[in-house]
Structure formats: structure tokens, C-alpha cells
Amino acid sequence: MSIKDSVTEFFSGLKNKKSDTFVGIDIGSSYIKIVQLKKEKGRILLDTYGSIALGPYQDEGFSGQLTNLEAEKITEALQNLLEQANVTAKSAVISVSSSTSLIFVLKVPPVTEKELAGVIQNEARKYIPVPLSEISLDWWVIPQREMYDTAGVPTKRETEVLVTAVRNEVVFRYNTIAESIGAFRDVRLEIETFSAARGSLKHELSPVMLLDFGASGVRMAIIEHGIVRKFRAVNRGSAFFTNTIQKSLNVDFAEAENLKKQVGLNRESPRQEVYSIIQSGMQYIFSEIQNVIFDFEKTHQKPLSKIILAGGGSRLHSLKDEIESRYNIFTAFADPFSKASAPDFLDDVLSKAGPEFAVALGLALQGVE
């Protein structure tokens, strides 16, 4: 089956049949990451994983830099990574960047299943700034518990629907890459936020905030019972801080990247000029996190129980401690590799690498769970 057969099934993890071996492909703005999982005798096994920097595939590029590569270059990088990691799976899920998509919850009046599609499309126009003919639209009705009045009669409530929208040109781009690779029989797409949630969460019953720190931005999602209740993306990621350090201190990109990793939000660092640059740039992100938490708790009248950090940028020195102290909410790193069996000697390596592979593992997990 090709991508064309399922371009709108962004909730494919809820709908599609499973495969015994599956590879998740997370195409980011600075790296591609892959994880291959296999299901054997009821156990989920880690087959292989790996990443490749996209910076070197552009003129005078460096590892860690943001890129805007043509599909041909991304295909070349992905092909190299698949070969290096010895990927054998014929089924794959590719991530769609949250920056190229919309995620929102609609409340619609009680209607029949036949009427629902029309109602959703009419309501979605209020959120989508382009004609619906230019996007791939998908939705999923959020299950609700039955409510009864004092006489024991079921009450009719608004239906909540989780809606996703992705531009057709983005779908076409991924379609081109997958067809050029030619290694897969079954390829599907999933918006990275859903993959990150699957890779990071562990059946939490109370509301949880997932903060996915990528190179180009931070994705903020509040999830309850596996459902994205609130989502916001901020276009300021880890590469922003490297570029700011580079310009402010007049150093090359590689040195700026090293300074960012060494200093981060460590208040005790002797390089206070670097700390000040990063701390100042983080204020906007911290403010947006606070706004999302406030909006959710005000609307739903319940507190967050946990904050989970994912993405390569989440490993910024002292970021976890800073977030935990600012919001007084228990904060932990995502540990996606704990969801698969792997040799014991890899435990430390996989634990440290886990946050940046949350999306890729969540994609692969969709196929084998």
C-alpha cells in the first residue's frame, strides 16, 4: 500500500492493521532519526536505531544546523541512514512535522455519523486559513462517558472531535521521498506530536504536559487519557540558541553549539555571558508554557500531574530542574526505549538517547503494539 492510499489517516495507529516488523522515520529539520522494532512471541524487541545529521547535505553545512533541503537530498540522507542501520522492515511510518500541520479540538452538536463529516468540515474552516481543497483533513471522535439526568435519561452533549490538517504539498513531499526510497511496501504518515506521546507516555491517568524540544521549535501538548486536549507550537528551538550565541560572541557554529551544550541553564557556569544569552532566549518559551498550563487548568478545572521532556533539545543543561522549579510540577525525561526489549549493556546509552528518539520509537511502536 502506498502513502497515496492513506494520506488522510493521521490517526492510523487507531485504525490500521499491525506488522511484525516496523520502522519509524522521524524527519526533523536538522536530523533524521529511525527506530526499527520487531514483535516476537508477544514481546517488542529493539532491532536497530540511528540518526543522521542533515547539515552536511547542504552547502557548507554543519551537524546540528537547521536545513531546508530539497526532497532529493532528504532521500539521499535517509537512504544512507537506512543502509548504515541495516533496516530490513518493509512497513514504515514517517513523521509529519507539527510546524506544517494544525491540531485542534472541535465541539460539535450531537449529529448522526452521516452528518458528522459535513459538520466537521464546516467548523474546521474557522481554524484553517487556506481552502480545504489544499489540505488533507482527518478527525477522530473522542470517546465520552454517558451522562444521565436526575430521571436516569441519557443527556445529549456536544461531541468532541480531535482534528488534524496538513497541506497537500507536504503530503506530496513525503510521498515523493517514500517512493524514491522504494524499500517499503506499506508507508503511512503520522503527525509527530501523536508519535511523541505514544513513545513518551506510560498510561498516565491524570493530565500530562509533553514538551518536545526540537531544533526548530518546541511542541507543547497536554494529554489526558491518551487524548491531546491542548496543543501549541513555538518556533524557537535549540538551533535558535546556537545561532544567537554564534552572533553574539562572534564564534563559529561548532563552538557555539559546544558552548550551548556545556553551559545551558547552569547558573553556576563560569561562562555567564553564554548563560545570559540562553536564559534570556528561554523566557519566551517559559512564558508560553505557563500560558498553556494556565489555559488548560482554567478550562478543565484540574491540575497537571507531570511534565515529560522529549526531543534532543530537552537535554539542555539544567533545563529539567528549571522547569520543575518554575511550575512546581514533577518533571521527567521521556524514556521511550523502556517500551522495547534490548541488551542490558545498552541500558545507559538508550536512557540518555531516549528523549531525542521519542518520535521515531513512537512511530515504530504504532505498528507493533
Each residue of 114-130: pLDDT tens digit? Answer: 888 899 888 888 888 88
CB 187 within 8 A of CB 178: yes
Cell triple for 99: 510546524
> How many domains in the chain?
1
Is 233 in a helix, a strand, or coil? strand
Contact 202, 365 (CB under 8 A): no
Identify the weakest region by mean pLDDT among 77-81, 168-172, 292-296, 336-340. Answer: 168-172
User: How many angstroms separate the CA atoms of 206 and 214, rounded?
Assistant: 25
For residue 324, how many other CB atoms are within 10 A of its CB? 15
Could you say which DSSP state residue 26 is in?
Answer: E
- Residues 187-202 have a mean pLDDT of 93
Q: What is the CATH number of the domain that holds 120?
A: 3.30.420.380
Instruction: Give Cα 357 distance to the centre of its chain.
Output: 10
3-state helix, strand, coil in the chain (%, to 5): 45, 25, 30
- Give tens-digit pLDDT for 307-337: 999 999 999 999 999 999 999 999 999 999 9
Rounded to two decimals, the pTM is: 0.89
* CA nearest neighbour of 364 among 327, 347, 339, 333: 339
pLDDT (0 to 100) of residue 13: 46
CA distances from 208 to 118, 200, 328 (A): 32, 11, 14
Round to whole Å and give the CA distance between 252 and 319.
Answer: 24
Of 53-57, 100-104, 179-183, 213-217, the one with minimum mean pLDDT is 100-104
Angle at 364 between CA 117 and CA 36, to 5 degrees: 155
Domain range enclosing 305: 3-368
3-state secondary structure of 150: coil
How confident is the model over 242-254, as pLDDT tens digits? 999 999 999 999 9
Rounded distance, CA 211 to CA 303, Å? Answer: 16
What pLDDT was estimated at residue 1?
A: 26
Q: Tell me which DSSP letter residue 106 carries.
A: E
DSSP state of 153: P
Nearest-angstrom CA–CA distance, 308 and 213? 11
**CA-based angle 284:290:295, to the nearest 5?**
125
> Amino acid identity, residue 161?
V
Cβ-based neighbours of 114, under 8 Å, separated by 6 or more = none
CB of 219 within 8 A of CB of 196?
Answer: yes
Q: Is 226 left (phi over 0), alpha (psi -120 to 50) or beta?
A: left
Distance CA 162, CA 231 (A): 11
Which residue has better confidence, 253 or 18? Answer: 253
Query: Please, what is the average pLDDT of the chain?
Result: 89
CA distance 19 to 139: 23
Residues for the chain: how many in total?
369
